Amino acid sequence: MPFPWHEVMAFGLGRLGWSPETFWAATPHEIDAALRAHRTGQSPAVPGRDALRALMAAHPDA
């Protein structure tokens, strides 16, 4: 069975609105994760306030 390039490209470029550069730079794992999230209707977890503060402390703006 050949790889379904047409469907994967339609999903990445059309449904997700990725630019061609973003689509072609994405790894197979990233595309798979996007497909799975879309199929299950789940969004990635949003960090809580404490986690966000820790990220901001670890990576401050210049």
**Quick count: other Cβ atoms within 10 Å of Cβ 3?**
7
Distance of CA 16 to the CA centre of its chain: 9
User: Do the Cβ atoms of 26 and 12 come closer than 8 Å?
Assistant: yes
pLDDT at 42: 63
What is the C-alpha separation between 38 and 11, in angstroms, rounded?
A: 10
pLDDT tens per residue across span 9-54:
999 999 999 999 999 999 989 998 888 888 876 666 677 888 889 9
Other C-beta atoms within 10 Å of 6: how many? Answer: 8
Q: What's the CA gap between 24 and 27, in Å, rounded? A: 8
Domain range summary for the chain, segments of one domain joined by +: 5-58
